[in-house]
Structure 1
Amino acid sequence: MKWFFGLVLLLNLLAALWGTLSQRAPGELHALEVNPQGVKLLPGGWKTQADATPAAGTNMPLAEALPAGVPASELPATLDGAKRVDTTAPVASAAKTVEPSTPKTKPAEASKAEKTAVCKQWGELDGAQLSRVRAGLAPLKLSGAESAREAAPASGKFWVYLPKRASQEATRALSAELKLKGFDNYPVSSDGDFQGALSLGLFAKQQGADALLAKLKAAGFSDARAERRGKAQSFTTLRFASLTPDNEAKLAALQARLLPGVPLQACR
């Protein structure tokens, strides 16, 4: 009797199993099939990609999120060893800024140029000499700084006179007074600053002019004067600073040709 109940129970189980299998679609059975070669055992302590990825804003390297001792070849598809990109690291620019190179004078070359440059001066030159020198410098494209001074004429007589008066009547009265005291005189009739003055004499030497001047002042003519006649001479010195050896040679050749008696000298 027991085997009969067992047989009935077995038949009920088979009927229930058959009813379950008959309700599934044929395509779902293939979906349940698994290729044994595609099955890979996961290592102990393995985490999902969401668990292994560090929180946003951290720079935790990928190796710290993986189990220790697991080679990259055995990682699942979600942890295939791909490198993480650190979004916080600065990105180097592909284009490099190239600074323009500026030529610089070497200190040795600058020092050498300073040592070779010289300063020369030429003079003193009178008016005629200065005109010749200027004409000679023009083709050489050389120019020098000019310094001039005026000097009394080297030759000429010393003139003693009394300045002109405010009117002709005053001049005639002064002339008559001078004659009464023994001083010969005559009025200056030529044009110029001395027109109307009373001339008392010309002397070749300054001692003679000074002697007459002293007598006039002793006689009461305190405004008597003595001057050397002739135009004051102007002398010019040319200064050439920072001459290169080539320009110095050109200047020396010009000096020897134009004015051998007026040498070039080092600047003082």
Structure 2
Amino acid sequence: MTIKASETSRAAGLVTPKSGRLRRLAIHAMMILLSILSIFPIYWMIVTSLRPENETFSTALWPANPTFENYAFVLTRIPMLEMLVNTTVVAAATAALQVATGLFAAYSLVRWRIRLAGLVHGLIALSWLVPFQVTMIPNYVLASRLGLLDTLTGLVVPNAVAAFAILLLYHAMRSFPTEILEAARIDGAKSWRILWQIVTPNMGAPIASLAIIAFISAWNEYFWPLLLSRKPENSVVQIGLQMFMTQEGNLWGPLMAAAALASLPILVIYLILQRHVIESFMKSGIR
């Protein structure tokens, strides 16, 4: 006992206040460095958007003569504001539909004892692995026959159901206490009432996480709008960015200005909902 106590005290003595401070300083220095590496591309995008044309390739950290000419050029060259509105509508509608369809599918798989529930779950998981390039031609043909080409509805409908949304909510619902559901059913509550008044209010974290991921994914979508859209005013902001990339060369100033405008809504939403975003991801277990 005496030997163990002396060894413990000796080991504890190795961790001095000075070494603890040095360790904290090293951790903070590493976090500051990683933060700078993460923020610097955004800073450089904004700085490049403020440079005049003759200073586009300057390496100065701040332009000598900052100007908003690139922003004015973007707003007059393409319908940027309309594209931002279209992107917001498409992203919000896609996120809402994925949350709704994910709730319905997950609740049916968890609550109702289906004979082939395991097979259905496996097929949904396998469909998640299928790349979009495999299904883009059938989706395009179907959208063309339904008259959805060059419409916002055509951009939303193919992404209204997502395997990721179903699987995320499915695993979240499996951990929901079955005693509460059985008590509600004994009291006469139907499945619709149980889903919307009992299950959904108690799954705020996974639903919020899914909505955030779906919104950002839809906001960054490029390939499907490029395939479906014809007119700029009916397209999204990602297509607007592509208009400043030509075979003759990229218009870096206007391109960075358009990218800054496209990133601004997402950054504002994150700054406003920062605490809720972090809490929802921590509670849902998503990293």
More contact order relative to length (CA 8 Å, sep ≥ 6): 2
Q: Name whichever structure is richer in helix by fraction.
A: 2
Larger Rg: 1
TM-score normalised by the shorter chain: which range applies?
under 0.3
